[in-house]
Amino acid sequence: MTAPLPGGRCLVVGVLNTTPDSFSDGGRFLAPDVAVARGVELVAQGADLVDVGGESTRPGAARVSADEEARRVLPVVRGLRAAGVVVSVDTMRAEVARAAVAAGAVVVNDVSGGLADPAMAATVAELAADVPELRYVLSHWRGPSDVMTSLARYDDVVAEVEAELGARLAAVEAAGVPRERVVLDPGLGFAKVAEHDWALLRDLPRLAGLGRPLLVGASRKRFLGSLLAAGGEVPPAPERDDATAAVSALAAAAGAWGVRVHEPRASAAAVRVAAAWCGPAARHRTEQGPA
């Protein structure tokens, strides 16, 4: 992964959902050839890598079987790699992660931070020994999608997310995952309400104090919809892309390693503006992580 990705600025991670039920674009990219074409389009629009997911993690979503998840994801990973795209796999399952890496993925994006599958950390450690480019995105998570809303209880959300992420980082290191391969994600929207998401975004530098680069996934999420509603009707997910790009610029200026977005074009411009605005200091913060 290191060679194809740019250094010196925040990366843009394009979202590719091969699911029928994702909150933003479920059902649009179910056929592998359609999904591969969309992934190539995401890169043309400015994505540095494409994150392929075969299981929805929207609030209330039910889990699918490992076989079904693999059926959705693996042909797309292979097709994107054949097209020269740098690929991430969005999965909470060790067996799907292993198969996707064998198919060419170089990032494992685990929104559960290794909690959903006890085998994940050991599997990533094993894969990392064989794939020098491999990176593991470890997110803050308190429980599966069907119950996570009930788990959004905090006295101090930043301090608690910092502590819980730190504990997960220590756990995966103890399982053999090299620390330098880990990227942390505060898990916006996962067991969090809008006030929690905004607090975490305002305090990204504190989370960066854990010593690992940060991935920010704000794209089209509910807290942006609530903000844009301004007392009226909440806009549909695609109408939140301008707000997403604003978050991308601010996250990049705060030193984020990457932003995960559904529509890359505006965010690709935003992270370049942030890099120019902030100069060498922001570039240095970004380069502390894998790039």
Residue 122 CA to residue 116 CA, distance in Å, equals 13
- Write down the catalytic residue from 9, 38, 93, 260: 260
Amino acid at 111: V
Amino acid at 113: G
DSSP 214: B
- Write down the catalytic residue from 221, 222, 240, 285: 221
**Residues in Cβ contact with 81 at an 8 Å cutoff, skipping those fewer than 6 apart:** 87, 103, 104, 105
Phi, psi values for residue 267, rounded to 5°: -70, -35
For the question of residue 221 being annotated catalytic, the response is yes
For the question of residue 142 being annotated catalytic, the response is no
- Closest alpha carbon to 197 in 238, 240, 167, 168: 240
Per DSSP, the three-state class of 108 is strand
Per DSSP, the three-state class of 290 is coil
* Residues recognised as catalytic: 221, 260
